[in-house]
Amino acid sequence: MAMAVAGERVSIAALEDFCLRVLSELGVSDQDARTTAMALVTTDSWGVFTHGTKLLRGYARRLRAGGLRNDLSPRIEKDGPAWALVDGQSTLGQVTSAFACEAAIRKARKCGAAFVTVRNSCHFGAAGYYAWLLSQAGMLGIAMANDVPSVAAPGSKGPVLGSNPIAFACPGGDADPILLDISIATVAGGKVYARCKRGEPIPAGWLVDDQGRPSQNGALYPERASLAPVGGHKGYGIGVFIEILAAVLSGAAVTKQVGSWLFGDLSAPTGHGAAFLAVDIGAIMDLPMFYRRIAALAREIHAEPTAGGSPPLMLPGETEWRNRRRAEAEGIELPEDVIASLLETAAECGQPFLV
């Protein structure tokens, strides 16, 4: 067993084991630790390193300070046949979100579709993970959440909304699920931090400074710059829609009421909101027929001619599933900044990071 370094591959099992040891050391129950570790490591295996195990250090600090609770569990505050309101009770966002997905699946199987909205959660990582969980149960899955404001609106001088991610997943039968995971920002804030730490330039179109002007100065973010909204008014409008479903409707903190899970008071709850929609495909259409139709759609898209020598068209998620299969066979090649964060987590928690 050797200490991990950049360029080496870490097995999925070893990375999950490290997460479990850290969370257990912080008093998180075995089940909740496994739920969280699975979400973080799966995200890394997809190659989405901004939302995987790099987040563990921030969660660990918040658990240690009390802003995340290890002595409570999410609960259904009120519900009906096809809907529920979940109180996360400031537990880990992965735990609350998985709990909400289970409720959505259970209700959708009875009613054909179900909507679950969440309050008193925290940062939940990759929205796509929860949409995928829903798809694993034969559902069309949608997951979304709000966050501390970091994204400008067209014409604003500062951040108005969080990056407010939204994800969609569709099971593919024998094929991989179709999986789309986006935020309303042109780029994830984590990518700005990562580029700054690596000394790499910030591409044009990523940031807006505190006068509302385009900027490529990553050092300004987040105090004096905001992320640019994807598609201008379109991304902004989608962000408002997510804020309503995930926060206004659930009673969660809204926009500037949301606490920063990473930079805010580590002893205080962040009040994040989230929302999940599950549609039971089998209640609407015979599943084998649905999968045949999805396969036909995929073939049609893959067969489309491309311009200028571009590679064949891909469906959302194809890159992630390709990365996952390689990770299962060879391990995950973690970027340098992720390795550094995990080593710092190991030192702070007294748990060696070994591969």
Classify strands 83-87 and 113-121 as parallel, antiparallel or unpaired: parallel
Say how many C-beta atoms besides its own lie within 10 A of residue 346's C-beta: 20
- Are 136 and 171 within 8 A, CB to CB? yes
Mean pLDDT of the chain: 95
Per-residue confidence band for 2, with pLDDT thresholds at 50, 70 and 90:
very low
pLDDT for the residue 355: 44
pLDDT for the residue 197: 82
pLDDT in tens, 61-117: 999 999 999 999 999 999 999 999 999 999 999 999 999 999 999 999 999 999 999
pLDDT in tens, 240-276: 999 999 999 999 999 999 999 999 999 999 999 999 9
pLDDT for the residue 122: 98
**Alpha-carbon span 295 to 56, nearest angstrom:** 37
pTM for the full predicted model: 0.95
pLDDT for the residue 7: 64
Residues of the chain within CATH 3.30.60.50 domain(s) are: 186-228
Q: Which residues of 133-169 are buried (b: 16+ CB within 10 A; e: fewer)?
A: bbbebbbbbbbbbbbbbbbbbeebebbbbbbbbbbbb
Q: Which CATH class is domain 9-67+329-349?
A: mainly alpha
Classify strands 75-80 and 225-227 as parallel, antiparallel or unpaired: unpaired
Pick the CATH number of 186-228 from 2.70.70.10, 3.30.60.50, 3.30.2020.10, 3.90.220.20: 3.30.60.50
**Alpha-carbon span 327 to 323, nearest angstrom:** 6
pLDDT in tens, 145-204: 999 999 999 999 999 999 999 999 999 999 999 999 999 999 988 789 888 888 898 999
